[in-house]
Amino acid sequence: MWRIGGQPHCCDWGGYSQDSDGEAGNWSLFSWEAYKLFRANTPGFQDLAALQAGNMPLGVRPSGSSGPPDKANGQYVSGNYYVVLGVNAIVGRTFSQEIVNGAWGPEAVLSYDFWERRFGSDTGIVGKTMQLNGYPFTIVGISSRGFFGTSVGFSPEIRVPKLPDSLAGTMPAMHLLDPIDYDDPFVGITARLRPGVTVRQAQAATEVMYQQYVQTHPEITKRSRYRRAHVLLLPGARGGSWMRDEFGRPFFLLMVVVGIVLIVAVLAVGNIYLHLHTLPERMAHKSQKLQFEIVAVLGLLALFTHNHLFWVIGLFLAMVDLPDFGTPLRRIAGSVEKIAGDPPGDDETPMAGQSAAHAVAAHGPDTTKADAAKSEVQSHA
């Protein structure tokens, strides 16, 4: 299903969707004459259905009743409306085949919600005659449950077929049923593509046909912005929604940003808890001793001064891995001591006399003075 034309703006019912940037916009509503032109000259569509853009106030009461009428929202549609949309009646039927083929009859189809609320789901209402604004109409069926039409948030309660040209003016109390000229275009169009035809092909054919129609109507061409307007095909299977058209993409981008922020926040909180979980292990191994001593001091300051800023600084310092300069320096010092031949940590150097005495004691009483002198020289070397 495709909508011919964009979503109409709230304050411009001239059939033209005015863009906020001042550039040429797109047609959104059409005259009944334009609908008939499209239907007869656009072979890319299986069929097109027309519907009133808005509602038609109705006074409803059973035939023969003298009581005050109930108020209801009505809508006129083309005779093939339900056929094009593929909607069946849950009770009774939709418009007769004669009306679908272009004839007219005083038939009305109720919405499911209105039938349930107003008539208590009484199936006996089908086939009865009701007065709509004083004219007799036969209730022929109840549309399927959940069907609201082609516009999200707007569900007419009663739908009636639009009058053909031959019967124009015969129902003054329901003047909206009369064919409408360009001066008040009030018709939305929904179409079903023919198999094998692309959207671009159908849109191009519709654009050419409508531009030809515009050129033959001076009441349209006298307005420059209307001459620059184009016809677009928009998806209509889910119904038209101005809120979805206007805010769908921004809301999608907002949800993506919110999702990214939530993921980053979860990862950040998890990283914080991981650092806090490893604090006891790092303290047990006496790594980064100076850093944890500072954290302990900050904790004591926060405890005695009741200043939460010290807690925040201490927590931040505990989570940040500061470079450990002490361990590399100690290892370098140990390596230098090993290269010098001294055991690490032995800072005492034996005196020369002590070395000689030790040498004499080591060689025993038979050691000669020459051997002792030799040992002393070796010790000095």
Distance CA 152, CA 70 (A): 24
Domain count, the chain: 2
Least confident range of 62-66, 131-135, 175-179, 200-204: 175-179
pLDDT digits (tens, 9 = 90+) for 339-353: 887 655 554 444 444
Distance CA 261, CA 250 (A): 16
Give buried/exposed letters for 2-37 (b at 16+ CB in 10 A, else e).
bbbbbbbbeeeebbbbbeeeeeebbbbbbbbbbbbb
Distance CA 247, CA 27 (A): 20
Distance CA 271, CA 265 (A): 10
**Which token pair is 232?**
């677009």
Q: For residues 58 and 111, state if they share a domain.
A: yes
Q: For residues 66 and 169, state if they share a domain.
A: yes
Which comes out higher in pLDDT, residue 32 or 159? 159
309 in a domain, yes or no?
no
Give residue 83's pLDDT.
92
Q: For residues 119 and 50, state if they share a domain.
A: yes
Q: For residues 175 and 196, state if they share a domain.
A: yes
Mean pLDDT (whole number) for 99-112: 92
Q: For residues 186 and 68, state if they share a domain.
A: yes
Give residue 27's pLDDT.
66
Q: For residues 128 and 12, state if they share a domain.
A: yes
Q: Is the pLDDT assigned to residue 363 strictly greater than 50?
A: no
Supply the DSSP symbol for 228: T
230 in a domain, yes or no?
yes
153 in a domain, yes or no?
yes
Least confident range of 11-25, 79-93, 126-140, 177-191: 11-25
Distances in Å between the alpha carbon of 271 and those of 55, 264, 321? 58, 10, 13
Least confident range of 50-54, 219-223, 300-304, 364-368: 364-368
Last residue of a domain, one of 249, 278, 307: 278
Which comes out higher in pLDDT, residue 377 or 81? 81
Q: For residues 31 and 70, state if they share a domain.
A: yes
**Which token pair is 217?**
């109507």
Which comes out higher in pLDDT, residue 272 or 356? 272
Distance CA 176, CA 56 (A): 7
17 in a domain, yes or no?
yes
Give residue 20's pLDDT.
41
Angle between helix axes 199-215 and 32-41 (nearest 10 degrees) is 130
370 in a domain, yes or no?
no
Q: Is the pLDDT assigned to residue 316 strictly greater than 60?
A: yes
Q: For residues 261 and 219, state if they share a domain.
A: no
Mean pLDDT (whole number) for 352-373: 46
Structural domain that includes position 263? 241-278
378 in a domain, yes or no?
no
Give residue 183's pLDDT.
47
Q: Is the pLDDT assigned to residue 249 strictly greater than 90?
A: no
Q: For residues 266 and 194, state if they share a domain.
A: no
Cβ atoms of 275 and 318 within 8 Å: the answer is yes
Mean pLDDT (whole number) for 272-301: 72
Cβ atoms of 70 and 60 within 8 Å: the answer is yes
Least confident range of 43-52, 271-280, 360-369: 360-369
Q: Is 291 helix (H, G, I), strand (E, B) or coil?
A: helix
Residue with tokens 């671009």: 200
Distances in Å between the alpha carbon of 10 and those of 17, 72, 226, 242, 247? 9, 22, 18, 9, 15
Q: For residues 40 and 156, state if they share a domain.
A: yes
Computed on alpha carbons and rounded to an integer, the radius of gyration of the chain in Å comes to 46
Residues 6+ apart with CB under 8 A from 8: 15, 17, 28, 29, 53, 188, 242
Distance CA 137, CA 63 (A): 9
65 in a domain, yes or no?
yes
Q: For residues 258 and 234, state if they share a domain.
A: no
Q: For residues 122 and 204, state if they share a domain.
A: yes
297 in a domain, yes or no?
no
